Structure 1
Amino acid sequence: MRALYLPSLPRNPERHQEQWDQTTVMGARVFGWTALCALLEYGTYDAYFVPGLTDQKKEELIEDGLTADSVKRLVAVPIGSKLPITNSDQIVLTTFDPQLRTLATTRRKLQRPDAPVCGLIHSINSERVVFAVLQHYFAGLCEADLLFCSSRAGMRTIDVYIEEVGRLLLPNITYRPRRVLVPLGVTIPLLEPEHRINLRQLLNIGAQETITLFFGRLSQMSKGDLGPMLIALSLLSRRETHTHLVIAGDDKQTNEARRLKALANELGCIQNLTIWPNPSARDKHMLYSGADIFVSPSDNIQETFGLTVAEALSYGLPAVVSDWDGYRDIVSDGETGFLVPSLFPSSLETLEVSDCRISMVEEDSLAQSTTIDIPVLSEKIQSLLHNPALRRQMGRAARQSAEKHYSWPVIVKRYEEVWGESIQAAKTAPCEEDLASAVFRMSLEKSFGHFATGKRNPHCKCFITAEGREWLKRPARFYFLCHLYDPPTPQRFNQMLREIAARPGIPATKVVETLGGNGDHVSTADAQWSLGRLFKYGLVASNEECTVTGDQSGALQAVTRDFGNGTTGSTESSGTNR
């Protein structure tokens, strides 16, 4: 069996926007949801394990848009339980972010050193990502583990982080996970020509008028300043070259629409502009389907790939975009669109990667002073407006490129190919704990042992208490001791308590040895936990925590210590039926 372990499941951000109109729709969230849908639709793995998955969560996923058949592929795993797999089964632990440390810990707890862990990058302009890279050094990762990078520019940034962090560490501590270039995926849509008519009717423009579309989050702070695009529109208008520009996207953060309308009015191009804030998923489909040209002058370093650009290509739109990070991977200049030169200001050398309000202002200032060549932007749009044949040619090439490189069946297949390579690599060289991983192997006893008054002696002698004898008369009570996340096994406590009652003074180590099952680490830990539960509820006491006296029948009774005042008090039952 081949299985995928997903520590959590994303929700559909576009549906939530329609319901509550509050959640900011971000590309990473859209990707996470569509990636889940694609894995369940196109993936060939036999099981997709999800800890803590409930029937209610399954219903929510169906409401979000997953099919019932897709949801059936998700296998619920009670939190804290073992996965229903054998040693011969192949498993990959994956997450939709770069936080590999938690998965590495999960792998260690599952005792599956042959299971690769895998993460992905999104926005990487934060010191949180730098610290994630630092954690990768010490998390017990190996060469079979993976970090998918969505663009060459993003991979280069991660390599810079690795190099800079590595300079501060000892030479024998190396970065081991493999970085692999795999772009984000998109759904190839069914093209519906009637949307061209419907969109123009909604915009109240002529049936033959061209539409240039920008789609993305409207925020000059965290996405891109669209002012230069409006200047390019005004330049086109002055040259008697007309197009209707639609700016659409989530606008919950900064109410950017108001500023853009004011600027367009000042530039004299407001009549050729429609701003469409917070579009629904249906609106989005109509906008892409009805547009002729896509434009995106990104200038912000939070952009790593450019999901909306890949979406535009999937709709067969030629794209005029800034020559920027992942954009230059997606758009082939002169074939599927045009790249517009971008230029950082000289102040770039004074800034640092950080993660605070001040650094956000600095990054915003950087984006706001990054130049996108407006004359070239205007010229490239004009060349497409004047040449319908070129538009159609580039549009066909764009859709073909999306189908070949970014469609979800292609991306999921690539994921599984790389996972397969890592599974084979882990078989020959499984992950081994090294000195560096000890940072995340902190002893709980050393770190927190001083919190309690003391620690029970593992060799202490165990005696049943009067309370314990009452519970033996009512074995249904043992259900209250059972683990929260596992199927209830009250007989475990009943058996252990009867063993202690039959052998007064039996050492705790002997109780664990006798009832620890197979004697492996998990069985021993389970027996130790069960004995701890009996102590916790006062059903068992030790010679160090009680005095032992005989009753009239010679049965042993335990008197537990009052830790508050150092006196002792009898736990003997009053004989009433409790």
Structure 2
Amino acid sequence: MANAAIHFSSEPYDASIPRPMGRQAAGEGFLRGFLQYADGERFHLWNVRDEDQGELEALLRRLGAPDKPITWLGRADRSGLAEAGAVHMPTPELKDEAWARRALGGNAYSITGVTHTIAETHILNEIGALLLAPLQPWDALVCTSASVRNATETLLESVATYLQERFGAARIPPAQLVTIPLGVHTADFGADPEVRRRWREQLDIPADASVALFMGRFKLATKMHPGPMGLALQETARRLGRPIYWLLYGGARRPADEEAFRSAAAAFAPDVELRFVEHASTRTRDEIVSAADIFLSLSDNIQETFGLTPVEAMAAGLPCVVSDWDGYRDTVRHGVDGFRIRTTAPRPGLGSDLIYAYAQRLVSYEAYAAAASMFAAVDIGETAEALALLFSDPDLRRRMGQAAQTRAREVFDWRVVIPQYQALWSELERRRTAAPVHPALENPYRPDPFRMFAGYPTAALSAADIVELAAPFDRDAAVAVVGHPSARTDAARLPSLDEALRLLECLATGPRTVGALLATMPPERRPFVERGLVWLAKFGLLRLCGATPRT
């Protein structure tokens, strides 16, 4: 099975930070699963941010050090990516890497990425740009759910229509989309009677009480509004005629966001017993599921694309009551693992003003996401009916919980998901190696500065131009000039000191043409030496006698 070099930095793969985002939890889970389950002889990790390797290795040890050797690739080591055969990005931002690869040839390696949130403008721009980037049939964007794939296709179709109308384009190569779900490490979750007893005692919840669990960030704007859940629990308590406990696990990065979420939850569920538990650690997350009878999550936000928490609850054997929204539609089987509750949104065409305000920066992303979520309705009566049925029927809870746990293990465990990535990389490798070799080409959006700005100088240096010393050769004086800090910069990739001195010593015997000087240098160094002649002339060591007249 083929593997890919992992586009590696700590931020997307470390969920141990306070208040991690969903993409970080997903990224950590993916990397842990990749290191544990990927088939292959070695791993390639691309240190794209030049982070301290010791710190990255510490992260790997926390996730479970692999039993295979690791090849570390430096930031600029795209030849190492070619050796690996593919690179996997933790985002859908593939265009820049596709352009970077073009300098090596279009089939130097494959590029894959994965969707998380796709509603923000910079991600919308990135996905739309895939149609103009030099992506190939051996590249792919992984969509984590059918819903996010549909949304991505809608965006790409919209951009393709514009390109056809604007330029009369008859053929626009589509970006390749594949669907592979996110996963969880199902062994991390389980129902433990002793843990259940301990948490219920700690939270002052009676042993026989009915408890619904919500897990996630406490953020009205970009997570979900707790109001519909609160209303449904309120109605459930009325129907059953007994107290219902609502366990809310998570938190927010900003105190104001957490307070707003808590206030909204309490306002819409005045007769429900609320219990809040902060995200203190991964262990707390893994244990809190034992305290609940049902998992409840009514996602209503375009920020969401998959939703890991229902799968985590399923892995613990909890039946789920979730909204029929985004990735939840792929994970919870209605009437089998729990219930998916009907959702309704306005018809297409009634939200143009919302996205326009966001696109023109009249409102923030959070304001835009919050505005869109105001028009996502979840059927509260249907939710209450599902909750009441589950709370009143222990056998149904048990059957659905067992079915959910089996599904989580068979479909969403990283042990099952990682081979899907490897199968994708293998297919992409087959296509790439079967294709004709693509030549190395320039990025047309980033032309060679000496071509783009060719109208600035009087002339460009040519092979026929004559080069001579500006003064008799003095080795010490030359070393002082080319070694001066102001005369060097690493980004310029200048000739080495030895190369500069060789050129000057050669010219000490008399003038030479540029072509004759370059012939004395190794072929792979000639482009650098050629432009280096201009550098030596800039600082008074050479005189360039060009044949091009001044205009």
Q: TM-score range by the shorter chain?
A: 0.7 to 0.9
Deviation at 1:450, TM superposition (A): 6.1
**Is contact 1:257–1:275 with CA below 8 Å preserved after alignment?**
no
Aligned mate of 2:155, from 158, 161, 177:
161
Aligned twin of 1:320 = 321
Aligned twin of 2:417 = 411
Deviation at 1:306, TM superposition (A): 1.1
Looking at structure 1, the residues matched to 503 and 481 of structure 2 have their Cα atoms a distance apart, in angstroms, of: 11
Answering whether residue 52 of structure 2 is matched by residue 56 of structure 1, we say yes
Aligned twin of 2:209 = 209
Residue type of the alignment partner of 2:297: S
Answering whether residue 41 of structure 2 is matched by residue 35 of structure 1, we say no
Q: Which moved more, 1:201-210 or 1:98-107?
A: 201-210
Deviation at 1:405, TM superposition (A): 1.6
Sort the Cα spacing of 1:274 and 1:248 in 2 relative to 1 into closer, same or farther, 3 A. same
Structure 2 counterparts to residues 523-538 of structure 1, below 5 A? 523-528=525-530, 538=539
Aligned twin of 1:176 = 174
Aligned twin of 1:149 = 143
Answering whether residue 112 of structure 2 is matched by residue 118 of structure 1, we say yes
Q: Secondary structure of 2:186's match?
A: coil
Q: Which moved more, 1:353-362 or 1:167-176?
A: 353-362
Looking at structure 1, the residues matched to 406 and 526 of structure 2 have their Cα atoms a distance apart, in angstroms, of: 58
Looking at structure 2, the residues matched to 362 and 55 of structure 1 have their Cα atoms a distance apart, in angstroms, of: 34
Residue type of the alignment partner of 1:251: A
Q: Secondary structure of 1:162's match?
A: helix
Sort the Cα spacing of 1:3 and 1:335 in 2 relative to 1 into closer, same or farther, 3 A. closer
**Is contact 2:128–2:159 with CA below 8 Å preserved after alignment?**
yes
Q: Which moved more, 1:466-475 or 1:495-504?
A: 466-475
Sort the Cα spacing of 1:66 and 1:483 in 2 relative to 1 into closer, same or farther, 3 A. farther
Deviation at 1:439, TM superposition (A): 4.5
Aligned twin of 1:382 = 388
**Is contact 1:471–1:478 with CA below 8 Å preserved after alignment?**
no
Aligned twin of 1:358 = 363
Looking at structure 1, the residues matched to 345 and 51 of structure 2 have their Cα atoms a distance apart, in angstroms, of: 51
**Is contact 1:320–1:381 with CA below 8 Å preserved after alignment?**
yes
Aligned mate of 2:407, from 396, 401, 406:
401
Aligned twin of 1:560 = none
CA distances 1:248-285 after superposition (whole Å, capped 9, x unpaired): 22312463443454455556646611123444322211
Residue type of the alignment partner of 2:227: G
Deviation at 1:347, TM superposition (A): 8.8
Deviation at 1:497, TM superposition (A): 3.7
Q: Which moved more, 1:32-41 or 1:505-514?
A: 505-514
Aligned twin of 1:69 = 65
**Is contact 2:224–2:301 with CA below 8 Å preserved after alignment?**
yes
**Is contact 1:496–1:531 with CA below 8 Å preserved after alignment?**
no
Deviation at 1:226, TM superposition (A): 0.5
Deviation at 1:431, TM superposition (A): 7.8
Sort the Cα spacing of 1:152 and 1:67 in 2 relative to 1 into closer, same or farther, 3 A. closer
Residue type of the alignment partner of 1:287: I
Aligned twin of 2:301 = 300
Deviation at 1:539, TM superposition (A): 7.9
Q: Secondary structure of 1:216's match?
A: strand
Looking at structure 1, the residues matched to 132 and 474 of structure 2 have their Cα atoms a distance apart, in angstroms, of: 46
Residue type of the alignment partner of 2:139: D
**Is contact 2:218–2:261 with CA below 8 Å preserved after alignment?**
no
Instruction: Report % sequence identity.
Output: 24
CA distances 1:274-302 after superposition (whole Å, capped 9, x unpaired): 12344432221121343221111111111
**Is contact 2:303–2:369 with CA below 8 Å preserved after alignment?**
no
**Is contact 1:460–1:542 with CA below 8 Å preserved after alignment?**
no
Looking at structure 1, the residues matched to 526 and 314 of structure 2 have their Cα atoms a distance apart, in angstroms, of: 57
Residue type of the alignment partner of 2:170: N
Deviation at 1:471, TM superposition (A): 6.9
**Is contact 1:53–1:76 with CA below 8 Å preserved after alignment?**
no
Looking at structure 2, the residues matched to 490 and 434 of structure 1 have their Cα atoms a distance apart, in angstroms, of: 26
Aligned twin of 1:553 = none
Answering whether residue 342 of structure 2 is matched by residue 337 of structure 1, we say no
Residue type of the alignment partner of 1:75: T
Structure 2 counterparts to residues 422-571 of structure 1, below 5 A? 422-429=428-435, 439-440=444-445, 442-449=447-454, 456-457=461-462, 459-463=464-468, 469-470=475-476, 493=499, 496-497=502-503, 500-501=506-507, 503-517=509-523, 523-528=525-530, 538=539, 540-544=541-545
Sort the Cα spacing of 1:267 and 1:178 in 2 relative to 1 into closer, same or farther, 3 A. closer
**Is contact 1:213–1:293 with CA below 8 Å preserved after alignment?**
yes
Looking at structure 2, the residues matched to 249 and 386 of structure 1 have their Cα atoms a distance apart, in angstroms, of: 27
Sort the Cα spacing of 1:135 and 1:496 in 2 relative to 1 into closer, same or farther, 3 A. farther
**Is contact 2:211–2:245 with CA below 8 Å preserved after alignment?**
yes
**Is contact 1:114–1:430 with CA below 8 Å preserved after alignment?**
no
Looking at structure 2, the residues matched to 173 and 136 of structure 1 have their Cα atoms a distance apart, in angstroms, of: 14
**Is contact 2:86–2:110 with CA below 8 Å preserved after alignment?**
yes
Aligned mate of 2:183, from 163, 168, 185:
185
Answering whether residue 43 of structure 2 is matched by residue 47 of structure 1, we say yes
Deviation at 1:218, TM superposition (A): 1.2
Looking at structure 1, the residues matched to 119 and 58 of structure 2 have their Cα atoms a distance apart, in angstroms, of: 34
Residue type of the alignment partner of 2:186: I
Looking at structure 2, the residues matched to 112 and 402 of structure 1 have their Cα atoms a distance apart, in angstroms, of: 38
**Is contact 2:2–2:423 with CA below 8 Å preserved after alignment?**
no
CA distances 1:391-431 after superposition (whole Å, capped 9, x unpaired): 12212211221122211122111011011111111222358
How many residues are paired up?
Answer: 531
Deviation at 1:336, TM superposition (A): 1.0
CA distances 1:293-327 after superposition (whole Å, capped 9, x unpaired): 11111111111111222222222221110011211
**Is contact 1:137–1:173 with CA below 8 Å preserved after alignment?**
no
Q: Which moved more, 1:50-59 or 1:447-456?
A: 447-456
Aligned twin of 1:564 = none
**Is contact 1:138–1:439 with CA below 8 Å preserved after alignment?**
no
Sort the Cα spacing of 1:127 and 1:514 in 2 relative to 1 into closer, same or farther, 3 A. same
Looking at structure 1, the residues matched to 181 and 408 of structure 2 have their Cα atoms a distance apart, in angstroms, of: 11
Answering whether residue 134 of structure 2 is matched by residue 140 of structure 1, we say yes
Aligned mate of 1:83, from 79, 83, 89:
79
Residue type of the alignment partner of 2:251: D
Sort the Cα spacing of 1:210 and 1:531 in 2 relative to 1 into closer, same or farther, 3 A. farther
Q: Which moved more, 1:483-492 or 1:32-41?
A: 483-492
Q: Secondary structure of 2:339's match?
A: strand
Looking at structure 1, the residues matched to 440 and 52 of structure 2 have their Cα atoms a distance apart, in angstroms, of: 41
Looking at structure 1, the residues matched to 7 and 162 of structure 2 have their Cα atoms a distance apart, in angstroms, of: 31
Residue type of the alignment partner of 2:214: F
